[in-house]
Amino acid sequence: MDDIAQPLDNTMLGPDEAPVVEAVNEDGACALQLVCDHASRLVPAALDNLGLQAAQFERHIAYDIGCAEITRLLAARLDAQAILAGYSRLVIDLNRPPGHPQSIPETSDETPIPGNQSLTEEAQALRVSSLFEPYHDAIHEALAHLWRRGTPPALFSIHSFSPDFGDDHRPWDVGVLWNRDPRIALPLIEKLEAHGLNVGDNLPYSGRDLAYTLNLHGGAAGLPNCVVEINQNLVRGPEGIARWVDILAQVMGEILLIDDLHRVREY
């Protein structure tokens, strides 16, 4: 698989390929930055689909099902900025630090990824410089754009999870992930439960274990921050997506009005 592992002519993206970052509603008035780390299932042409069949890119291993559409529609509803990733998490996971074992996964949910096997450090570094760094640079700039208006922005990251992972069944409708800052997470859990939803507090993953995007752009800057993880079975079609946009627009609209939410505070 060496021809797949090494990008052609040392170039990750060709001139006609999709952009690394999709920026939505860049002049949104709301002091809120939406991000979607796993929005896309695209792979740079030079990597030849990482040696996988097309059907694998319909699965949760390639992207977070439903989340790109939710992020775009929620940005419109809240008049908020959004930054979405342009390429698949299988190429490089933007929510993991470079060099982490899950950054460029050799296996995902028991599925080997041929194009990620035994990569040289140079090949890994090229994915970082081509895809990872431009994405996080875009979030830095978007947050700075909001902050320069005078109000420290909140950061809200949108993900979805597979209801079955290996032998584990995950019964939650939605998870709320957070590390130390409770300002969005705790009222969000309360409001989602008021909708009759089965809400996981730091489930099926914990924001205290590893939430790179949240910690880098939110926690380190003292900005209010949170991740929402929606059960993928609930957002596989337009009706489910629309329902979740309605729910999140309502509850986040209320949370953004909380007194002192936007105060810079480190936890």
Q: Is residue 261 in some structural domain?
A: no
pLDDT value of position 225: 98
Q: Is residue 53 in some structural domain?
A: yes
Please report, for the domain that includes residue 204, its CATH number: 3.40.630.40
Model confidence over 102-140: pLDDT tens digits?
A: 999 999 989 999 999 999 999 999 999 999 999 999 999
Write out the residue range of the structural domain in which residue 184 sits: 2-255
Residue 44 CA, distance from chain mean position: 19
Residue 47 CA, distance from chain mean position: 22
* Whole-number Å distance between alpha carbons of 229 and 160: 5
pLDDT band at 167 (very low <50, low <70, confident <90, very high): confident
Instruction: Look at residue 252 and tell me whether its pLDDT is greater than 70.
Output: yes
Residue 102 CA, distance from chain mean position: 15
Q: Is residue 190 in some structural domain?
A: yes
Q: Is residue 262 in some structural domain?
A: no
User: How many domains are contained in the chain?
Assistant: 1
Give me the chain's average pLDDT, please. Answer: 94
pLDDT band at 11 (very low <50, low <70, confident <90, very high): low
Tokens representing 195?
Answer: 């909708």
The arithmetic mean of pLDDT across residues 161-173, rounded, is: 87
Picking from 49-53, 107-111, 156-160, 196-200, which range would have the lowest pLDDT averaged per residue?
107-111
pTM greater than the 0.85 cutoff: yes
pLDDT value of position 5: 38
- pLDDT higher for 8 or 214? 214
Instruction: Look at residue 248 and tell me whether its pLDDT is greater than 80.
Output: yes
pLDDT value of position 63: 98
Q: Is residue 101 in some structural domain?
A: yes
Tokens representing 155?
Answer: 């950061």
Model confidence over 187-232: pLDDT tens digits?
A: 999 999 999 999 999 999 999 998 999 999 999 999 999 999 999 9
Q: Is residue 264 in some structural domain?
A: no
Q: Is residue 93 in some structural domain?
A: yes
